[in-house]
Copies of this chain bind each other. A is one copy, B any other.
Amino acid sequence: MATAHRFADPVDLLTGLATTRAIRRYRDEPISDEDLSTILWLASRAPSGSNRQPFRFLVLRDGSRARQAKSMLGASFRAMWAKKREADGYDGGSGRLEDSPKARMAATMQHFVDHFEATPVVVLACLQRHRSPHLTEGASVYPACQNLLLAARALGYGGVMTTWHQFIEDDLRTLLGIPDDVGLSATIPLGRPAGGHGPVRRRPIQELVYDDGWEQPAAWATDPEGTRFTKAGPPRRKP
């Protein structure tokens, strides 16, 4: 493809999959039209049920409505983070130690939401729905979201998939004219990373992969040397 060899030293697929992580701090640089087009085009190469492609990407850049939408989203993100900070106890325990992972995560999140309006590009990933909520409906939009994040990474950008539009979803729909039968599946801020990509932290592979039956160990599955672990995420909130 025309897009394949724009860099002297492109990221290879295996490395890209292993090291694309959530990016929440962006440099003050726009995303060029050409790069944005490539990112969206690659997002839309993802599979969907029967290849019906019910995903739509509504891109917010510097248009008049985009600026208003980013402002609404900023308020929503700050509210969602304040709620999560409290609910997940980010300011207790090791969160009191300035250099703990918990405190650093809280600082990153606070910076992210405080500067949301300055995010170069925000993509709203939408889904044309044709039945009531169902376990598998996300199969036709989230693969495209993951492709979008990987494509951004390939071109030197980064982003994070969120659902933090929820506090102001009705206002956002009105502003942007999003019909009622379209789901707002994700809000994805994108920009040039202030830091870098790198290995992600996950649970040990034995907790995630089973063989021949539920919770049956997969003896052949191993974490490569150097894998970084998170034994568990933050405490699960009440439904």
Binding site for B on A (CB under 8 A): 1-6, 10-22, 33-34, 36-38, 40-42, 44-47, 49-53, 55-61, 63-66, 84, 88, 127, 129-139, 141-143, 145-147, 149-151, 153-155, 160-161, 163, 176-179, 182-186, 199-203, 205, 208-215, 218, 220-227, 230, 232-234, 236, 239
| Distance between Cα atoms of A221 and B32 in the complex (Å) | 11
- What residues on B are CB-neighbors of A45 within 8 Å? 17-20, 200, 202
A-B contact pairs, 6 of them (CB 8 A): A3-B14, A6-B14, A18-B45, A59-B218, A136-B138, A146-B146
Given the interface contacts A1-B199, A15-B4, does A177 sit within 8 Å of B226 by beta carbon?
no
Cβ-defined partner of A22 (8 Å) among B47, B161, B182 = B47
- Verify B208–A53 contact, CB threshold 8 A: yes
Interface centre among A22, A59, A129 (most CB of B within 10 A): A59
Task: Write the nearest CB–CB distance from A14 to chain B, whole angstroms.
Answer: 5
- What residues on B are CB-neighbors of A11 within 8 Å? 12-13
Given contacts A41-B222, A52-B236, A133-B134, 15 further A-B contacts (CB under 8 A): A11-B12, A13-B154, A17-B150, A19-B45, A40-B208, A44-B208, A57-B208, A59-B209, A59-B212, A63-B212, A130-B239, A135-B183, A146-B146, A146-B147, A176-B213
- Verify A131–B1 contact, CB threshold 8 A: no
Interface centre among A38, A58, A178 (most CB of B within 10 A): A58
| Distance between Cα atoms of A218 and B43 in the complex (Å) | 15
Task: Write the nearest CB–CB distance from A157 to chain B, whole angstroms.
Answer: 12
Cβ-defined partner of A13 (8 Å) among B153, B178, B232 = B153
Cβ-defined partner of A161 (8 Å) among B20, B56, B139 = B139
